[in-house]
Structure 1
Amino acid sequence: MSLLCHELKPRRKTHPETVHYSMIHRYIFLCSFILFLASCGPAQENKGEESTGTLHLEQTTDYLRIMNGDQPVLNYWLTPQLPDGLPEHYTRSGFIHPIHSPSGQVVSDGFPAGYAHQNGFFSAWTNTTFRDSFVDFWNTHKELATLRNQEIVETVKEDGIIGFKARIDHLSNAHGLILAEELTVRVHDRDDVFVWDVRSEQTNITEDTLILNKHLYGGLGVRGSKYWNAKDTTNFMGLADFLTSDGLTRDSANHTHPEWTAIYGDLPGGKAGMAVIPHPENFRWPVGVRVHPDLPYFSVSPITEKAAFIAPGQTYLARYRVVVFDGEVPVDLLSSF
């Protein structure tokens, strides 16, 4: 059962609140998000290199890359990655990095110094309970769980849009496959900013409930550039800046509920960054955000204040628009989506 249209009922009264959507937001934000909704429609299946307008998609054994002309937009990793010198438990695939701005700046980081469990744009739960045991899909160094790309289900080519749908397995070391995720990414043909839409559908394929315990973070993770990481003594240029739709910054944005959150800062080629706009039909919208006081990352998380769960056979659906920009945060543009 999809969580898009139905409120789920607990299997036992002792469970926390289930994941659901508020019907009123459908009507309030229908007009302003009509194009966003349309961009999440059915996809066309294609094979090999694909192109539409100036966009094209390239696939190798290890990664899938989307280009805008000769400029890369993003990479999605198909095969397990592990940089030299890191322990095996950091091995991971199924994440997006590098993420490029229109001028070619890389605004994300993969396997960052000191925090090798965070990779670009990724989705993982942190504090969960499954069959009465603790499972952490986010912190792979705890050696409890990981994420792994399973396959590319299809590629997407429409007028002015190119992208892909991937299957990602959320695997517990003790219990095996718990969540099967379908991740759809659709990049728009635009070069003043790079705009892409993300649809994540995580289905509990087991016969037991996955409890999402209240926690500081968990859900969507966004890791900013190595040039904003003070632990990276080779590349560090300065701490990242944050800005939300409410005008809040690093010092005040943590665990608030903005309509969008941006991370940005100085890079070798000038200032650049990226912003995430959660869809208004996402669970517990406007969704809480974890903005770290020192590190260049934030999490869009519906469990910062209250637990939830995903029952057997049920699906957690989340959608986001990502805007990657050069220079200062394009506040007016972000507010117009």
Structure 2
Amino acid sequence: MRTVHVELGSRSYDILIGSHLLNQLGELMRELGLGRKALLVTDTNVGPVYGARVTEILTRAGFQVAMVQVPAGEKAKSLEQAARLYDAAFDHELDRNCPVVALGGGVVGDLAGFVAATYMRGVPFIQVPTTLLAQVDSSVGGKVAVNHPRGKNIIGAFYQPKLVLIDTGTLDTLDRRNLKAGLAEVIKYGVIWDASFFRWLEENIHAALNKNIQVLDYIVEKCCSIKAAVVARDETEQGLRAILNYGHTIGHALESITDYRTYLHGEAVAIGMVYAARLAVAQGMLKESDCQRITGLVHAAGLPTTMPPELAINELIKLMYHDKKVSSGSLTLVLPTGIGSVKIIKGFPEAEIAKTLANLQG
């Protein structure tokens, strides 16, 4: 078992990483001194595979478990589904020491975390991510939210979990499309922080796609370590943490313009990273050779690198203004300056974005 510590003073917690860790979840939660009623939140994809097993594990450890399944997919990150979970918490008589446990991918973690942060002004939150994207990114750092029709993750909070338990064995049941989508966030960490990790990914991406467990364990630990370091220095995104949004401003707009029906989050971020790299080249900030390496690794991971030619660029840019990083009506972009480094650009000219995107669309 590998352990990554997230240092946040009184809100510090451990990320435990390894295969076959699910069986330890109940005992680890009991050691935290939590209340003995637990709300287990999962979705219609993960619930049938792991729901009964996790319920049994927690029951053996002395917890009374109420499990709620939400619909799979981004649409579940809504106030409507949050209301369902509040009702379940009331019905199960959760008090302020009783945990909400998220079992699933990033959508489940964001939704369950939002409910944990707001029910009774905050109850303990446990993350058990089962997708690669959630394991390397969304389960760590305390961002929880639901979507609004006008923007993704607009209604949310910073709320840290008490524990993140990552059983990489759950990736055995992850479909190939979602595995590749998770690799987009993995590639992001190499671009924004660690050039040697990026090179390692170039050499090992096919092993990751083939679910080599040693490779996946290392990937998860490395990404969690990078994110833990960033979050420890800037928990509420006042500065440095914004680098984690590389590829996301364009990616979120792309998800929105396609009504969350065309792209998985990681697929949209992959395109966003490539286009952000092209913007950086156009601004003279990034060498063409580095842009080609970024594009090449995204492609090698089996991820998309271009938007549909019929996509309306002007509409996409309008949606970019709904991004949480917009300040005083100006766009903020995270652009790479080399492999392993990025720069946060505030007030990026809309005309430059439109010009570059139009050129890329042909």
Give the TM-score, by structure 1 length. 0.27
Structure with the higher strand share, 1 or 2: 1
Which protein is bigger by CA-based radius of gyration? 2
Larger RCO (CA under 8 A, 6+ residues apart)? 1
Structure with the higher helix share, 1 or 2: 2
Give the TM-score, by structure 2 length. 0.26
